[in-house]
Amino acid sequence: MNRALPGAPRIRPAEPSDVAFIRGVAVAVFSHIGDYGTIIPEWFEHDGVSTFVAEEQGAPLGFTMLGFYRIDAPDAAPKSGSDSAYAADLLAIAVTPDAHSRGVGRRLLDHAIASARAAQKKLPVRELRLSVADTNARARRMFAAAGFVDVVGEHGWYDGGQRALHMTRPI
């Protein structure tokens, strides 16, 4: 059962000063599947990745990372931006363990969905995709409740040996 926060956490774009928090959460929650303490700060620096932080009374609680890529057939002829199809990719969503099960993850997820939808003003974004370990029942339940469905097929393995699942949701 969720312990509700007294007020909804604020979600804002991340700043360089948030990297230590983001790295710390990544180490705390993703170390069993791979070296995300290294990978996630690298994604943070990438121009095509947008990072958002949830905070409550100035204290950071969690973050999301969102990227976008073209999903046209690889052999398709080059198209103008407006003719191409894009997917948003939820590269990471994580909440600091002390704040789990209080609604922060769902709030971050709703914000990521809204951000992907807002991007449609500039890009024809058709869907929001993500990868999740098959062992991560909690996250899979949250994603399913938000309208994500499994993408059929083999999607590889995490470094920790977990099978990677892909999920998608129309935008």
Ligand X SMILES: CC(C)(COP(=O)(O)OP(=O)(O)OC[C@H]1O[C@@H](n2cnc3c(N)ncnc32)[C@H](O)[C@@H]1OP(=O)(O)O)[C@@H](O)C(=O)NCCC(=O)NCCS
Using CB positions, name the residue nearest to ligand X: 105
Q: Smaller CB distance to ligand X: residue 117 or 141?
A: 141
Q: Can you read off the two tokens belonging to residue 62? A: 């969690």
Count the helices and strands in the chain (H runs, E runs): 4, 7
To 5 degrees, how large is the angle CA 117–CA 52–CA 30?
110
Q: Which residues contact ligand X (rule: CB under 6 A)?
A: 2, 29, 92-95, 100-106, 132, 136, 138-139, 141-142, 145
Tell me if 5 sits within 8 A of 56, measured CB to CB: yes
Least Å distance between CB 50 and ligand X?
16
Q: Smaller CB distance to ligand X: residue 86 or 111?
A: 111
Least Å distance between CB 168 and ligand X?
14
Q: What are phi and psi of 70, to 5 degrees?
A: -75, 140
CB atoms within 10 A of CB 150: 15
Q: Smaller CB distance to ligand X: residue 122 or 138?
A: 138
Least Å distance between CB 71 and ligand X?
20
Q: Smaller CB distance to ligand X: residue 78 or 156?
A: 156
Least Å distance between CB 127 and ligand X?
17
Least Å distance between CB 70 and ligand X?
22
Distance CA 48, CA 8 (A): 28
Q: Smaller CB distance to ligand X: residue 70 or 100?
A: 100
Distance CA 171, CA 98 (A): 31
